[in-house]
Structure 1
Amino acid sequence: MIVDLRPGSPTYLGHVAVELSEDNRRALYVPELFAHGYQTLTDGAEVTYQVGEFYTPGAEGGLRHDDPRLGISWPLPVSVISGKDAGWPLLTTEEVLT
């Protein structure tokens, strides 16, 4: 799942979901100013991703998986989520992410 965070974009806060599996062998590129999230659909799934910068904890941001402004429908009920990811605030109607 990727979410468009580009201010002024006609698809701002829109999202695209792509299923990645061993069978379809797809990959997903997430450009700058897009958020990403994923849900594993099988036990034992492995996730690998690459980043373009070194990890900088103070520069981190996030979105809630259940934020009503995003309207994301996950394939399965969310059963496990980190405390950090569960703790992101909901977007407000006035909020513009930069």
Structure 2
Amino acid sequence: GVELTAANGTQLLVPKGFLHGFVTLTEDVEVQYKCTDVYAPDCDGNVRWDDPTIGIDWAMCGPLPDEGPQLSAKDAIAPLFADVASPFRYEAAE
């Protein structure tokens, strides 16, 4: 993980097709994205934020609220990683 703030001016490149997520550390926050193309919802996908097989330690960012994180409607119904049909294909070199 990496902390992005206005003060440190850090940006993070997430390569096309890579799964990513974030947690905000303040209540008054603005998140901005740069994308490679116009947003296409039909090409969008997601994975459950707390999928135990991924193993993200969200507590490293600070304590989560007792009621859990505030999620978008889309993220609230996200599937587990194992249930996602990936558009990518891996072929091992022989």
Alignment TM-score > 0.5, same fold: yes
Q: Does 1:41 align with 2:31?
A: no
* Sequence identity (%): 40
Amino acid at match of 2:75: D
Q: Does 1:69 align with 2:59?
A: no
Q: CA deviation at 1:84?
A: 0.7
2:79 — aligned with what?
Answer: 89
The alignment yields a C-alpha RMSD, in angstroms, of 1.9
Q: CA deviation at 1:96?
A: 6.7
More strand by share: 1
Deviations 1:32-76 (A, max 9, x none): 121221111012111111111111121111111101111011123
Q: Which is greater in Rg? A: 2
Aligned length: 81
TM-score where L is the length of structure 1: 0.71
